[in-house]
Amino acid sequence: MKKYLFLSTIAQVLTLAITLTLSGQAFAEIYKHVDAEGRVTYSNMKSKGSTRLELDPDANVISNDRARTPSNSTANRRTPTPDGFPRVDKNTQNQRDDKRKEILQSELAAERSALEQAKKAYAEGESNPEVYRTAEGKTFRNVPKFEEKMKNLQADVDNHQKNIQLLQKELDALK
């Protein structure tokens, strides 16, 4: 029995040693490819036009260059506009912004009107409880149906209020 326990321990030690030896060699090659439109693709498989990246296999941490650059560095600033990129003059952009503001204001007015309608429907629904009649002609309140109706009416009111808040936020950002 002791002999088998001893052999089992030796097997575990050998397995651990082999695993540690091979884990250091489990480093994959990484290839970088830039296509005609400038899109960058990284892969562990070599493809036509790709270049092999020289990475340090002893490095335990993959660094993120953006995380290391200070917020006021030039790396975080906007990249310059390419020469052939279409440009819009300030007057045209102001006209577009004014048009957008008009559209947002008309949507805001429509949402406010829809909110008022939803509030009226809620008040009307609240004053008209759901009832059902039995075969004998007795009338009872249908509480679950009433609660479901009121829940839907409240959700409608909440949606319109949320839309108004979002539209107002967008309009405030244009100022």
pLDDT tens digits for 51-62? 888 776 665 555
The answer to whether the CB of 87 falls within 8 A of the CB of 80 is: no
Average pLDDT over residues 103-108: 94
At 12, the pLDDT band (50, 70, 90 cuts) reads: low
Q: What is the pLDDT of residue 1?
A: 46
What are the backbone dihedrals phi and psi of residue 77, each rounded to the nearest 5 degrees, phi first?
Answer: -75, 160
User: How far apart, in whole angstroms, are the C-alpha atoms of residue 161 and residue 173?
Assistant: 19
Q: What is the pLDDT of residues 17-61, one digit of tens each?
A: 566 555 555 556 788 888 888 888 888 888 888 888 877 666 555
Share of the chain above pLDDT 90, in %: 38
Give the CB-side neighbour count of residue 27, counting CA atoms within 13 A: 12
Share of the chain above pLDDT 70, in %: 71
Q: Which helix (H) or strand (E) holds 32?
A: strand 30-34
| Helix spans in the chain (H) | 2-23, 65-68, 90-127, 143-174
| Mean pLDDT of the chain, nearest integer | 79
Q: Is the pLDDT of residue 153 over 90?
A: yes
Q: 51 in helix, strand or coil?
A: strand
End-to-end CA distance of the chain: 84
Q: Is the pLDDT of residue 13 over 60?
A: no
| Highest-confidence segment of 21-35, 67-81, 115-129, 133-147 | 115-129
Q: What is the pLDDT of residue 114?
A: 96
How many CB atoms sit inside 10 A of residue 133's CB? 9
